[in-house]
Chain A
Amino acid sequence: MARPAAGRKTRKAAAPAATDAGVSRDQLLAWYREMLLIRRFEERAGQLYGMGLIGGFCHLYIGQEAIAVGIQAVRKPGDQVITGYRDHGHMLVCGMDPREVMAELTGRAGGSSRGKGGSMHMFSTEAGFYGGHGIVGAQVSLGTGLALANSYRSNGAVSFTFFGDGAANQGQVYESFNMAELWSLPVVYVIENNQYAMGTSIERSSSETHLFRRGASFRIPGEEVDGMDVVAVRDAAARAAEHARSGQGPYILEMKTYRYRGHSMSDPAKYRTREEVEEVRRNRDPIDHVQELLSEKGWADEAALKAIDAEVRAIVADAAEFARISPEPDPSELFTDIYVEAGR
């Protein structure tokens, strides 16, 4: 299994300029729609939280939409996705019903976990989405285990394992890196580096802030990607997936991104300036970027984009209404799903 280190050095991707190569009109419009769906969904979730309909923790994905969407673009049937607690966007992109996701946020019977998981704990085996995990870093070992199962079965599937810059300092991440490379497991580690682990900036938490280099001592190749550019994400994901799928083992993608909202709903916003957030929103917004690409190419006029916007708003309104009227779980649900009955 030992391979020469040559050619396996970590590298920075080329400047993310000519990233529109190989994108069709339909693809770009579909991505635009998906990213917009995440944003509108998350905005509504924030509102419902403010209204007291969503309780506990609620971590919004606004600003990071291009990553989930770009990775999804290279997923094949059977590939798995697993992430941490900032998971709503991933679930929508994987194809989970927005109604079920929103109803889980409101803790209702119609939620994807029948109201027993909440924001951080949703799953869909059908969609290949394995959570939704609330313990920072746990999903990295679990996602590597999904890859172990793929390798065991020789099924050609890849595990896309997402985690943040905060989780990147957890010990089990490196235990998993070691085994993934040692056993050539088909896993793509997607580090969503949004610069802040809760309120601690990466400079204040990490001795090596270039997270794509974190696999170097395990011989895992890594690259830095502009996570605000869906096309760049897609292209890097394609390289990484090909590497993993072809039996060459794990691959690390460090997605440079930014979260517009607080860590969770109760964020003091003392650790960064309003100007910093505004600067990113104005100049690096991932949805604006796609919109610009669409207009540059003349693939969508304002009317077309407005139509998509209206469609997305309708989906979100419907999901929010469903999440409001769906009943709370029956009291009997308290004692279900603790054990699988034998024979199931």
Chain B
Amino acid sequence: MTDILMPALSPTMEEGTLAKWHVKTGDAVRSGDVIAEIETDKATMEVEAVDEGVIEAILVPEGTEEVKVNTPIARLGAAAGTGAAAPPPAPPIPPPSVPHVTPPAEATAPEPSHDAPTPPAATVTGRRTTVRDALRDAMAEEMRRDETVFLMGEEVGQYQGAYKVSRGLLEEFGARRVIDTPITEHGFAGLGVGAAMAGLKPIVEFMTFNFAMQAIDHIINSAAKTLYMSGGQITCPIVFRGPNGAAARVAAQHSQDYSAWYAQIPGLKVVAPYDAADAKGLLKAAIRDPNPVVFLEHEMLYGQEFDVPEDPDWTVPIGQALIRRPGRDVTLTAHSRMVGLALEAAEVLSKQGIEAEVVDLRTLRPLDRATIVESVKRTNRIVSVEEGWSPMGVGAEIVATVAAEAFDWLDAPPLRIAQADTPLPYAANLEALALPSVDRIVEAALKVCYR
């Protein structure tokens, strides 16, 4: 007798919906038979039996949501005719089932592993929405509003988006405006830029920004520089968007944070939102912006839920940082996923009597230097947090700004928290060591407070 366990279908999946059973109690199954369908917020996949026998019991009925990975979902007995005596119970084989469809290499975003504290300074009210759906809603609303807006990229149409961000767009807007491209980043980025030069407003999705390195010549040389080189004649209203930074256990080539790379380029605007409200409001602003915008999302945030205002015309201006949590003792700057860690660190610090002010950068170019500098003038201390590497990075720019513009207000040397100066390792323990953590942020904050 063997328990069939809820399988993990991607590196970051923690739970899913048992959508359908293809077998019932008493059915004989053989290795390779499809026995069930499982849905996550990202994909639907079939589960195959990996052993043969008879289904003795269905433990989780179909339609059950939020089934945790490794929960027993059915019990498999010995195949009929293999003998009267029941075999001794076998230990569960983790994982007992394999997905029938190979999931994409990238992972489904997990549910938040912790409850993000509600930032008193930045509360928005509205409907609970995942970052994933907020991005989709932003694109759908702008495509309804402006006929020249269209989406192109790998798997954005029929597949519904490699991370389901474009779910439903093909059905609503058709193949003319939701264009599945071949796997040719350099080429389709160039096509997008050319279409933008002709006056359309493409949204070019990169499955991840790691793959955009193939296309970076068009992002920088063609999109960012042509307005200048043409004396203002050729505009390029385009958005390059997709997940940036480290997902989970996908190793160095799939885990890079490109914030500093793009934020260095005059002619580009660079946006990196944290919550769903910003994801939606900033993406709408990016699509409406007449300039090329690099829009850096984060896979680990896609599944997280936040309140999003229901006003369909709600946008967030590019170029304004947001104080997510006010505090008098130390400034923590962060963008994208690191904002969540900074907020969590602030809670830990608060218990130790230190009130951290968390500044969500939101836009990296143009950088809202004034908000950072004013915050440091109040707190006299700063720790910058970024997921990318520290040398020549976002934190380097912030610290230089503070040194130049708030030198006399500083009570301690600024500190930077960043990824270890190595390619990102695969092994779970090394990966955790390499990436910024709440503990490291807390430690740095204590240090600049001389505690």
Contacts and interface: CB of A to CB of B under 8 A. Distances in A.
A173 to B, nearest CB: 9
B426 interface: no
Interface stretch (B10-18, B89-97, B196-204, B414-422): B196-204
A138 B199 CA distance: 18
Contact of B192 (A134, A145, A182): A145
A337 B150 contact: no
B190 interface: yes
B120 interface: no
Interface in A307-344: 336-342, 344
A153 B184 CA distance: 23
Contacts of B186: 141, 171-172, 175
Contacts of B230: 113, 117, 121-123, 131-132, 337
Contacts of A179: 181-182, 184, 187-188, 191
Contact of A149 (B195, B226, B228, B267): B195
Given A113-B231, A116-B231, A179-B182, A133 B195 contact: no
A141 B191 contact: yes
B336 interface: no
B229 interface: yes
B244 interface: no
B290 A336 contact: no
A80 to B, nearest CB: 7
Contact of B182 (A80, A131, A175): A175
A145 B291 contact: no
Contacts of A341: 290
Contacts of A124: 233
A337 B226 CA distance: 9
Interface in A68-114: 80, 82, 111-114
A337 B266 CA distance: 10
A224 to B, nearest CB: 25
Contact of A141 (B194, B226, B289, B291): B194
Contacts of B267: 338-339
Interface string B147-172: 00010000000000000000000000
Contact of A338 (B198, B199, B218, B228): B228
Contacts of B192: 145
* Chain A interface, >50% SS class: mixed
A341 B288 CA distance: 12
A122 B188 CA distance: 23
Interface in A14-28: none
A339 to B, nearest CB: 5
A124 B184 CA distance: 29
A338 B190 contact: no
A149 B227 CA distance: 19
Interface in B216-239: 217-218, 221-222, 226-235, 237
Interface string A140-159: 11111111111011000000
B54 interface: no
A51 interface: no
Contact of A145 (B182, B190, B217): B190
B301 to A, nearest CB: 27
A160 to B, nearest CB: 13
Contacts, number: 151
Nearest to A174: B187
A135 interface: yes
Contacts of A122: 230
B190 A142 contact: yes
B266 A145 contact: no
B193 interface: yes
Contact of B187 (A125, A131, A141, A146): A141
For chain A, give the interface size range.
35 or more
B43 interface: no
Contacts of A132: 229-230
Nearest to B181: A179
B175 to A, nearest CB: 10
A150 B198 contact: yes
Contacts of A134: 221
A156 to B, nearest CB: 14
Contacts of A125: 233-234
A175 B181 CA distance: 10
A176 interface: yes
Interface string A203-218: 0000000000000000
Nearest to A170: B186
A130 B288 CA distance: 23
Contacts of A113: 229-231, 233
B195 A131 contact: no
Interface in B273-317: 288-291
B218 A141 contact: yes
A142 B188 contact: no
Contacts of A172: 184, 186-187, 190
A130 B291 CA distance: 17
B52 to A, nearest CB: 42
A146 B150 CA distance: 14
B233 A338 contact: no
A142 B233 contact: no
With most chain A CB atoms within 10 A of its CB, the pick from B231, B232, B235 is: B231
A10 interface: no
B189 interface: yes
A97 to B, nearest CB: 13
A28 to B, nearest CB: 33
A342 B231 contact: no
A123 B233 CA distance: 7
Contacts of A336: 232
A121 B229 contact: yes
A176 B190 CA distance: 8
A111 B232 CA distance: 12
Given A142-B193, A340-B290, A340-B291, 11 more contacts: A82-B194, A112-B233, A117-B231, A138-B218, A141-B194, A144-B187, A145-B193, A175-B187, A338-B267, A340-B235, A342-B290
27 contacts: A111-B231, A114-B232, A123-B230, A132-B229, A135-B221, A138-B221, A141-B187, A141-B190, A141-B218, A142-B194, A144-B190, A144-B194, A145-B191, A145-B194, A152-B150, A152-B195, A171-B186, A175-B187, A178-B182, A337-B230, A337-B232, A338-B227, A339-B227, A339-B269, A339-B291, A340-B227, A342-B290
Interface of A: 80, 82, 111-117, 121-125, 130-135, 138, 140-150, 152-153, 171-172, 174-176, 178-179, 182, 336-342, 344
